[in-house]
Structure 1
């Protein structure tokens, strides 16, 4: 999530929870059409290039970004601050370096809430994600983040898809999903905050064999259902199709997904609509 792109906050209506559907503001006509056709309210992402300079929190940048995004001080909405990389990685190192990161993350979200108190704020990917070894050491390090996370209005852990079921069996994938969701819920129950996990319809870019490829729709639906089975009623669906389209001419990962027989807007709308319909029909 390095570029200024789009995301969705999205509820699966067939799973008997109260319906809540949100989607990020978009400059893409195709994605905007998808929002409008499904009558989705919007959610904003604030990317690190708009409030971080040289790996340090830049308050002046954040103020400029938020006042432009929300010109009315009384505006309401939902927003996720996205700060990844070294400072994010330092959060759970349990050292002076870790404390320095936590202080800056806390300064950022407190300033955001102070500037626009009627907007619901969170940070992307906290508590941190673990696929292969969600053990007690990982849990303990993230539980230590509770004081930082207590400043959030909701918790937005990342539960991205790394592998197909043909490569990593369902029991391993289930453990990954359940462990990450349950840790976020444990923290949420401790500090009184709801949990809205984040998913993506593409494999995580760190996956060597499947990096950024579209996941099969049944796998995406599988993840949504498994997350919801942890008594989660709201899911954030993030995607970067505007950026992906822009580099699709030179990137094999995206080239096959955009037929030149269709416009960019048609391609994006059709892609998102097919995943959306596949999930809600389950």
Structure 2
């Protein structure tokens, strides 16, 4: 999900077994209560028993399910395959009555078209109505007790000196946002450039805080909860540190900036923590740091890493 090149392959190779995280005996006959205090949600399923126990003991929700585009448009023809989408949703949420949080991950051409095309154009209408809105309506009809939204929307191309342009794009997409139950902007951290193009790690925190403040003001206008996506690794677009683990103090500082911007706003419901570490280790080990490539038991290492960074995330949300 961090980039097209990582996310597209991960959809088909890493996440075909989302249903294993939910047992058929788990029945929730109504939507989850998101609560007043922001909460940490896990949007990954490649962790082991030790990390899973840590999540449960610390009230970290594992009820987020991501429906990747490989299940929405398996033929890559920019058309929703209703049967494939329903099947993926059924695997992710086995019980028709259960609640949870569902995220539709669409990052192909329609995602870019919505931002660039003129409102009312044929391309724009096709992307919004025939792809995004069609997909979320199928999702809602299939599992009505689940909160649904789109990964990466609103867009994260916000800059203080062009806030008006960002607002105009959001206004253009208002029919789509009205369909979503929750907004899931992507706030993965870049090393050398993030959002406004400022350099170095300390500036990343300031930039994301400004963006969060702006997106929350937008959320108030449309009365939609906000749960940004974060990752404990540098964004793959970083020329120097792509997919390397972010230093824990930087990760903490970054999350604190997000939560500081959301403090006191009832629409800030928490953070979705995504990851695909096992996939990276199996298929792109060369992109990891030296110490990670040399791990003899990556599963144990991964669980330990998640617990360390999970503690930082929980502290940031306090």
Is the pair's TM-score, using the shorter chain for normalization, greater than 0.5?
yes
> Residue in 2 aligned with 1:100?
126
**Residues 157 and 181 of structure 1 are in contact (CA less than 8 Å); yes or no, is this contact kept in structure 2?**
no
Q: Normalized against structure 2, the TM-score is what? A: 0.76
Q: Which has the higher helix share?
A: 2
The farther-off stretch of 266-275 and 183-192 is 183-192
Match of 2:155, SS state, is: coil
The structural deviation recorded for 1:139 is 2.6
Deviations 1:183-222 (A, max 9, x none): 4323321221111111111111111122111111111111
The equivalent of 1:195 in structure 2 is 226
CA displacement at 1:254 relative to structure 2: 5.0
Point out the more displaced range, 55-64 or 23-32: 23-32
Q: Which runs of 5+ in 1 are unaligned?
A: 8-16
Aligned 8 A contact 2:47 2:303 in 1: no
Residue 272 of structure 1 is matched in structure 2 by 306
In structure 2, the residue matched to 1:141 is 169
Cα 1:264–1:201 change in 2 (3 A) is same
Q: Give yes or no for the alignment of 1:186 onto 2:210.
A: no
- CA deviation map 1:111-153 (0-9, x unaligned): 1011111001110010111166761223311232122011111
Write out aligned runs for 1:38-117 (5 A).
Answer: 38-42=58-62, 43-52=64-73, 53-54=75-76, 55-95=78-118, 96=121, 97-103=123-129, 104-117=131-144
For 1:151-170, what aligned pairs fall within 5 Å after superposition?
151-163=179-191, 168-169=199-200
Give the one of 266, 284, 287 matched to 1:252. Answer: 287
CA RMSD, 1 decimal: 2.7
1:170 and 1:210 map into 2 onto residues whose CA distance is: 12
2:41–2:273 Cα contact (<8 Å) kept: no
Structure number with the higher strand fraction is 1
Deviations 1:139-180 (A, max 9, x none): 311232122011111111111111269x81577534531343
Q: Which runs of 5+ in 2 are unaligned?
A: 2-6, 19-35, 263-267
